[in-house]
Each structure stands twice: as C-alpha cells, then as structure tokens.
Amino acid sequence: MNKMVKITIDGKTIDAEEGANLLQVARDNGFDIPGLCYYDKVSPTGACRLCLVKIKEQKGLIPSCTVKVSEGLNVTAFDEELEDVRRTIVELLISEHKLGCMTCDTASECALEDLAYRYNVTVDNLPFPVKTKYESIDDSSPVLAYDPNKCIVCGRCVKACYEIQGKGIIDFIGRGIETKIAPDLGVDWKNSACDGCGECIQACPVGALFEIPSVGKARKWEVEKIETICPYCGVGCRIEVEKKDNEIVRINGVDDGPANNGRLCVKGRFGYEYEMSNKRLRTPLIKENGKFREASWDEALTLTARKFSEIKKNYGGNSIAGLSSARCTNEENYIFQKFMRAVIGTNNVDHCARLCHASTVAGLARAFGSGAMTNSIRELEFADCILVTGSNTTETHPVIATYIKNAVLNHGAKLIVADPRKIDLVKYATLWLRQKNGTDVAWLNGIMNVILNENLHDKEFIKNRTEGFDEFRMVVENYTPERVEKITGVPKEKIIEAARIYGTAKNASIVFSMGITQHTTGTDNVLSTANLALLTGNVGKLYSGVNPLRGQNNVQGACDLGALPNVYSGYQKVTDPDIKKKFEEKWKVALDDKVGLSVVEMMNEAHKGNVKAMYIMGENPMVSDPNLNHVEEALKNLDFLVVQDIFLTETAQLADVVFPAYSSFEKSGTFTNTERRIQLLNPVLKAPEGAKEDWEIVQELALKMGYEMQYNNQSDIMEEIADVTPIYGGIHFYRLGKDGLQWPCKDENDPGTLFLHKGKFSRGLGHFSPVDYIPPAELPDKEYPYILSTGRILYHYHTGTMSRKVSVLNEYEPGPYAEISPELAAKLNLKDGEEVRITSRRGAIVTKARITARVAPDSVFIPFHFAEAAANRLTNDALDPIAKIPELKVAACKVEKM
C-alpha cells in the first residue's frame, strides 16, 4: 500500500492513497461524479468527458479518471460550469442513442438512463432536432448481439476484451460520428475470432451489447440475483445467477470473485440451458427385462440395499466398487467414500481424477508433500516467466488463461509454451517448444541440463530446502541439448533459450495439465516439473511454483475428501494403522487396510468377474474412460449397477437402478477449486420434483443397509470433515463467506494458505527425483502410423452431459471431429469436413476431419466429449505404474478417408 496523502474535494479534506484513481477516490467518498467510460478493471480512457473536474493550479477541465492522487490536490467536482458541461454531454449522448428502453434488457441498470434522469434530458427537450438514422443490429453470434444505435462508444468493451480477457478481438471501426465497435475490424460477429466469453457485455454500461439467450426473458427488476459457483471447470468462478420463476435468465461474473475477478468464459456465462432441460431425471428408475420403468424411492432404495447386501455377503465388500464424482460437492464425496468404506467395507472407491491428475497427486506428494497447485490462480498474472506445458489453458481453463495473457500483455512476462499442438497460447509466447508427444521428461531434463551448465541454479535453495540433488544431477547430466533434440524434436537452441528464460526469471511459474499427466510416465513427468522448480528455487514463494490445473469443478475436492482407493479424506493413508483406527472410532465400524481398486483396475476386475457390482455417482465412464469397448463389456458383465445422475447418461443406460439427483444450481455444499479454495454453493433453483441431493441418496441407502447415518444437511457433514481431516480442520460453512478458504486450513483461526511450502515443504525438504526418459507405451508403427492424442475444447465439457444440452454451445461446436494436419490431409486427399475412419488397436470411430496446422504433421487430435464418435474407443488404457493413470495422450492410430 502506498502512503496516504490528503486531498480536498469541494472543500472536504479526504485521506487517500497516493497514486489512487481520483475518480474512484471521489466516488468512494460520496462524490457522485458521473462517468461512462471509466471501468475500474481497465486502464482509464478519459473519453466520455463526464468526469471532468477542476484542479487548483492546473489548466482547464481535467478528466478525473486519468488523474492519480497526490498530496494537496485541490479538486472542484461540482460547480455550475462543470454541471453545465456534463448536461450538454448527456444531451449529445441522448441525441445519438436509440431510446429503445421499453424493450431493452438493460433498462433500469443502464448508466445512460441514470444520467438522463439525473440531468433531466429527454429526446423532446433537446435544443436541436434529432436526425439520427438507425443501423442494423449484429446478432450473428450465437451468444451476443451488438446494437450500434445504443452504443455510446465508451470503449469499455474494447479494453475488456484486450486488457481483461487478453484477446483483443473487439476494436473501434469507422471515424467520427460513424465510429462503432466490431470484432476483427468489421467482420460479422459470427465469422470473427470471438469465442463468446461475454466479458464485453459485462463491461457495457448500456444495452448495446447483450446476451441473446436472455432477450425478452425478464426485466432487470423482476429477477432475483443469487451468487454461487460455476458448475464447469476447476477454476471455480463465482457467478451471479439472475433468475425468474425458477428459470435462469442470465449469468454474470462476480466482480470480487476470488478466482475470477468478474471474468467468465462462454460455458460459465451461457452454458446453463441444461439446467432447465426436460431430460432431467425426475424419478428413480428400475430396469426390468432390459427396459427402465419408473419406481418409487422406497422401492429403488430397498432393491439397491438388498442387492448390495447380498453381493457383500456372498462375495465380500471388495466385490463392490464405487465411483464418486468430481462434479458433486465435497460433502457428497466424503459421504460417498464413507459409504463405500464403512457400509460396503471396501477401499474400492475412486473417481475420474484417476484419469486426469492421479500422477500429479502422486508426483507432487513425493516431491513436495502435497499434490495440488502450489500457488493461487491470480498470482499467475504477476509471474515474470510462465512455462505452460500440456495445458491448452485457453480452452480448458479459460479464465486462468486470461491471467497468463495479462501477465504477457499487461506486465511484459515471458511465456514459454511446450506443447505438440500449436495452441492459442503460442500466439502469446516468447518461445514455443513443439515436443513429440510423450517426450516431456527428456526436454525438461534438457532444460535442467542447461541450467546446471550455465550455473543458473539456486545453490542456496538447493542446499537449505532440498534433498537428493546429487543423484538427480547425475541423471540430468546425460540430457545434453543435442541428445534432447534427437528425442523430442525440439531444436537444441530452443532448449537453451528456454533454460535461460526460466533460469534467470525472478518469479517463474510452471502451469501444466493433462499433456503432462496422462502418460504411462505421468508421475515421472510431474516429478520433472517439480525438479525444475526446485533447481531454480521457484517454489514456496509468491508468484513462483508448480501449478497443475484441475479439470472439473470439484475434482480437487473429490481427491481432498478421500474419493481415492488409497487415502481417507485429507490424503490420510488407508494403510496407516493409526489413521485407520481414528476412522474406525469415528465411524464406529471396522475398516479395510488394503488399498482399493482404481478406475481402470475396477473395469478390468469387472471384466474378469471379480467386481460384481458398482455404484456410480455423477460420472460417465462410458464416455470418459480409456478403451471404451472394454469398459462397456466390463459394465455389462456386472451383476448390479447403480447410477445416480441428473441425466440418463450413456453409463446410466447400462444401470439396473438409476437415482435422480440435484444439480449444483439446486443445492448447498462446497466445491474446492484448483487453487485449493473451498467455496460455498447457494441453491439458486428448485430441483425437479422427485430428485434428491446425492448425499441424501447415499445416506438413505446407508440407513437401509443398517448403518446409522444422520446428517441434516451438508453443513453437518462439513463439521465431521473438519473433525477428521487436518487440512480441512478450520473449514466451517459459517467461515466461508464470499471468498472461501484455501487449504491447508488447520483450525478455526487459520486464515488458510495462499501458496504452499513457504519456508518448509509439506514433507519437510523438497525432494529431487532422478528421472529418466521412457518412451510412451504405444508408438506409431507401419500399421498404425500416426500419433493420436485427445483432449478438451472450449465449448464442451467432459462427456457432454451438460454442455451438449446447451443450444448455443452446440451452435459453436455441434459434434465430433478430428484435427488433421494439412500434410496428412494432402496425403489422404482429404478435404475439410470430409469423413474419416480412425482406427487404433482397440477400436475405430468415424468422424469429420478438421484440417488445421494446429496439429503436428503426423498427429491426430480428437476431442473426447462426443459419445457418438468417442475418442476413448481408441485410447490406450496402459497405466502409469505408480499413479495408475492411463496414457490418454499417446496412442498409435491409422486414418482412412471414408
């Protein structure tokens, strides 16, 4: 904080921070100076000229939004002359503004409307005739429309697009009175690079930019606004939901949302239609003779309890397995794993984190003692070097990408991108390393080899804070840039340059995601990123660290709360007798001390007939898991399958019993985002009649099976979590408020932890691991000559159960496709949009070709959201030996034109 100074506004003395924005200070102190272009999240523009003030000893009228506070500033904010100027400016604006207020969705929250009222300006009392002609509206985008006749050309959208979202798609076109805004210098919105995040709408002070899906749904004063957490990715954006009559009208980013600071992506803002879908499940279903019929809760629960009890009795608890859910709340995950462990009597509980970040949890726990993002999301903006690898952040964590772009565009940070695909972030990068898929250990070792050779390592940090350096060094010494170039295909000069940029940075941060984790060497890859941070002392301090981005809204929480086969909540090992004893006492039941089955192992055991029944809560392995043909056979081989979900998913269709659940818009509870922040949900809408909250369903099942479980609500469950989980020890609903708390949070007085490992690693010393490069399990050969990789895209989410029920998202991206390089397309004589058959050793799909230089010449990329051409029919279920994560990022395939 800067020093405080005294200024005077209209004779009143005010204490203000030196350098603060004068307009903001004035407003904060009750001087309601008007202004339309000022927007506190972007640099001042000074264009509307409404905030003009007089400053003693300075010439003329000065836009207060462009003035920084300094000692002794003597300001006149209001006098006759200033108000006269302001009134005239409002008159000019009104003369140019289409007064469509009667049908405007912004009416009553329009800044111009307020000013017209304040200065009593109407189109009838203007001192000149109005001759303005109207232009057509651009409503070609799926999500947003622009009415130039309402636009006041304040430029807030232009700056929001560039300075906040880092996209720079919107700009002014035309000059003078013809000036308006447009994407990509004047193309239709539909044909522009706009990805529909809607930041511009949120920045628009009038109704010039507006949400198409909200048009005509409700006047602003009719809606109720409730804040909750976005149901999509792991960023955990705080959203404000506007609703009317139990329907969502509009979603806005919450300006002081701790992770998103008001920002959202297209899914967060526009992806809510599924919530009101008529395909929601409303009653339990029981399958009889291959067909579902509706059933009462009592019947379905009784049947399930009886089946589970029988199988447990006949084959033992370990013949049952459960998949918990990264979409459900922390409390529900806790209850689910408790149910599996205490009621069923097995550690066979896992969830889809196995498929995304199991190797992160394993690797970072080994290196640092804690398997989560070391830093907070918004610290990224202030790192001076960011290494992004295996994360197409723009599409998978769109709001996090904005902070990376801010770092580059607004603060001059250097960005290194290591990715086989030319992802969007490459545009912002100082350096792009295009490694061959699955060679990450090699290039990371290469960078560390150069750092050591050039003496850029942090000797002090290595000496005081780490162990295992010498063994590590011996391995890394073998990875000369020349050798690394041969393995990875990255020119040695780039390896050297990357080493110098990262090695000389003051605050370097590594961001990674599934391009690093989804390999048979996933744990090794993660260990290598940790080695790099340890080597340069870039961990354990503000802005510097190792930051795995978690994919789903509550995947961090599902792991934290023990939906894993080896640990109870808070990563407490099932094999530790003291821990086991603690939980046995708490849960009043004997527990198993053997590590349970992981996701892919469950499917393998089901396939073999060793797992007889499964309980799946809010997951869809029939799309999300590798080697789907095998998964399908496994699930069909079960004696009994129970699925609870909000929709009849591909997996639910195979179930014997289906329970209808609440969505996250309908319930309370907490999600833990990727930066370890536990945030409170608020019920926004009433759930469909007949559905129940997931924890209630589990509790009722437990009761039916004779286990005493009596929670009144999710808050009750959190009290038990806090009691048994040291890292959540200080988490109570009443403490969470708007900002939540970041674990570790040990007790009621603990304010939580912004970044990890300050002064000391969770495990004591940071551990260097010597890691050698091992090639992927399956490499291209004559029969399957191309590399197949899979991943997510911006417009859809996970298995599409939610996003594919949203018409505007479908408009952007209606169905499956495969990215194919121009080189490969030429070889196959393939045109864009034509169908191809892609085959691996495990299956084949037919999909559309999208010809793009994003992919390397010999590679194919397929988004995995689309069940009808499911990428996972092709993927390899070979596992990382430590983390049991399958190698979803590398498989060999062949491509044929249909």
Q: How does DSSP classify residue 295?
A: -
Q: Which of 7, 115, 153, 591 binds another protein (CB under 8 A)?
A: 153
Question: CB of residue 113 vs another protein: minimum separation in angstroms?
Answer: 16
Distance between terminal CA atoms of the chain? Answer: 64
Question: CB of residue 156 vs another protein: minimum separation in angstroms?
Answer: 13
H or E element in which residue 350 lies: strand 349-350
* 384 vs 447: CA distance, rounded Å: 18
Q: Which residue's entry shows tokens 């750092």?
A: 451
Q: Which is nearer to another protein, 89 or 599 (CB)?
A: 89
Question: CB of residue 36 vs another protein: minimum separation in angstroms?
Answer: 8
Q: Which of 2, 32, 172, 585 binds another protein (CB under 8 A)?
A: 172
Q: Does 80 bind another protein (CB under 8 A)?
A: no
Q: Which is nearer to another protein, 62 or 844 (CB)?
A: 62
Q: Which is nearer to another protein, 56 or 608 (CB)?
A: 56
* 65 vs 840: CA distance, rounded Å: 60
Residue 515 φ/ψ, nearest 5 degrees: -65, -20
Q: Which is nearer to another protein, 85 or 226 (CB)?
A: 85
Stretch that binds another protein, among 177-185, 423-431, 454-462, 696-704 (CB under 8 A): 177-185
3 state DSSP class of 246: coil
Q: Which of 22, 152, 685, 724 binds another protein (CB under 8 A)?
A: 152
| Long-range Cβ pairs for the range 829-832 (8 Å, 24+) | 829/897, 830/897
Q: Which is nearer to another protein, 22 or 871 (CB)?
A: 22
Question: CB of residue 177 vs another protein: minimum separation in angstroms?
Answer: 4
Q: Which is nearer to another protein, 44 or 780 (CB)?
A: 44
Question: CB of residue 66 vs another protein: minimum separation in angstroms?
Answer: 5
Q: Which is nearer to another protein, 52 or 809 (CB)?
A: 52
Stretch that binds another protein, among 91-99, 404-412, 509-517, 766-774 (CB under 8 A): 91-99
Nearest to 707 by CA among 355, 350, 312: 312
Contact between residue 545 and residue 512 where contact means Cβ atoms under 8 Å apart: no
- Count, residues in the chain: 898
String of b and e for 632-645 (b: at least 16 CB within 10 Å)?
bebbeebbbbbbbb
Question: CB of residue 63 vs another protein: minimum separation in angstroms?
Answer: 7
Q: Which is nearer to another protein, 92 or 779 (CB)?
A: 92
Structure tokens of 470?
């010498």
Number of residues that bind another protein (CB under 8 A): 35
String of b and e for 795-813 (b: at least 16 CB within 10 Å)?
bbbbbbbbbbbbebbbebb
Q: Does 102 bind another protein (CB under 8 A)?
A: no
Q: Does 88 bind another protein (CB under 8 A)?
A: yes
Q: Which is nearer to another protein, 132 or 807 (CB)?
A: 132
- What's the farthest any 2 CA atoms get from each other in the chain? 91
Question: CB of residue 223 vs another protein: minimum separation in angstroms?
Answer: 31
Q: Does 134 bind another protein (CB under 8 A)?
A: no
Q: Which of 19, 72, 174, 737 binds another protein (CB under 8 A)?
A: 174
Question: CB of residue 128 vs another protein: minimum separation in angstroms?
Answer: 6
Question: CB of residue 404 vs another protein: minimum separation in angstroms?
Answer: 23
Question: CB of residue 173 vs another protein: minimum separation in angstroms?
Answer: 9
* Secondary structure E strands in 212-328: 224-229, 238-244, 247-253, 285-288, 291-294, 320-323
H or E element in which residue 787 lies: strand 786-791
Q: Which of 34, 35, 155, 752 binds another protein (CB under 8 A)?
A: 155
Question: CB of residue 881 vs another protein: minimum separation in angstroms?
Answer: 53
3 state DSSP class of 116: helix
Question: CB of residue 73 vs another protein: minimum separation in angstroms?
Answer: 14
Q: Which of residues 747-806 bind another protein (CB under 8 A)?
A: none
Q: Which of 57, 80, 178, 470 binds another protein (CB under 8 A)?
A: 178
Stretch that binds another protein, among 168-176, 412-420, 660-668, 796-804 (CB under 8 A): 168-176
Contact partners, residue 718, CB within 8 Å, separation at least 6 = 330, 331, 670, 728, 731, 732, 733
3 state DSSP class of 635: helix
Q: Does 171 bind another protein (CB under 8 A)?
A: yes
Q: Which is nearer to another protein, 98 or 586 (CB)?
A: 98
Could you write out the DSSP letters of every residue in 14-81? EEEETT-BHHHHHHHTT-----SS--TTS-----S--SEEEETTS-SEEEGGGPBP-TT-EEE---HH
Contact between residue 269 and residue 198 where contact means Cβ atoms under 8 Å apart: yes
Nearest to 252 by CA among 243, 270, 271, 239: 239
Question: CB of residue 81 vs another protein: minimum separation in angstroms?
Answer: 8
Q: Does 410 bind another protein (CB under 8 A)?
A: no
Q: Which of 5, 55, 85, 101 binds another protein (CB under 8 A)?
A: 85
Q: Which is nearer to another protein, 95 or 277 (CB)?
A: 95
Q: Does 84 bind another protein (CB under 8 A)?
A: yes
Contact between residue 266 and residue 143 where contact means Cβ atoms under 8 Å apart: yes
* 657 vs 295: CA distance, rounded Å: 9
The helix/strand count (H/E) of the chain reads as 29, 37
Stretch that binds another protein, among 125-133, 328-336, 362-370, 673-681 (CB under 8 A): 125-133
Question: CB of residue 23 vs another protein: minimum separation in angstroms?
Answer: 13
* 379 vs 403: CA distance, rounded Å: 8
Q: Does 177 bind another protein (CB under 8 A)?
A: yes
Q: Which is nearer to another protein, 160 or 546 (CB)?
A: 160
Question: CB of residue 411 vs another protein: minimum separation in angstroms?
Answer: 14
Q: Which is nearer to another protein, 64 or 714 (CB)?
A: 64
Residue 645 φ/ψ, nearest 5 degrees: -160, 175
Q: Which of 96, 310, 811, 823 binds another protein (CB under 8 A)?
A: 96
Q: Cis bond leading into 688, ω under 30°?
A: no
Question: CB of residue 124 vs another protein: minimum separation in angstroms?
Answer: 15
Q: Which is nearer to another protein, 47 or 779 (CB)?
A: 47
Exposed/middle/buried for residue 779 (C-beta within 10 Å: 0-12, 13-18, 19+): middle
Question: Could you give the angle at which helices 599-608 and 628-636 cross, rounded to 10 degrees?
Answer: 50
* Secondary structure E strands in 521-649: 545-548, 567-568, 572-573, 613-617, 640-645
Question: CB of residue 175 vs another protein: minimum separation in angstroms?
Answer: 5
Q: Which of residues 19-78 bind another protein (CB under 8 A)?
A: 44, 46-50, 52, 60-61, 63, 66
Q: Which is nearer to another protein, 62 or 595 (CB)?
A: 62
| Torsion angle defined by CA atoms of residues 321, 699, 679 and 235, in that order, rounded to the nearest 10 degrees | 30
Stretch that binds another protein, among 151-159, 534-542, 563-571, 818-826 (CB under 8 A): 151-159
Q: Does 133 bind another protein (CB under 8 A)?
A: no
Question: CB of residue 553 vs another protein: minimum separation in angstroms?
Answer: 39
Q: How does DSSP classify residue 686?
A: P
Q: Which is nearer to another protein, 93 or 388 (CB)?
A: 93
String of b and e for 360-382 (b: at least 16 CB within 10 Å)?
bbbbbbbbbbbbbbbbbbbbbbb
Q: Does 409 bind another protein (CB under 8 A)?
A: no
* 512 vs 418: CA distance, rounded Å: 10
Residues that bind another protein (CB under 8 A): 44, 46-50, 52, 60-61, 63, 66, 81, 84-85, 88-89, 92-93, 95-96, 127-129, 131, 152-153, 155, 171-172, 174-179
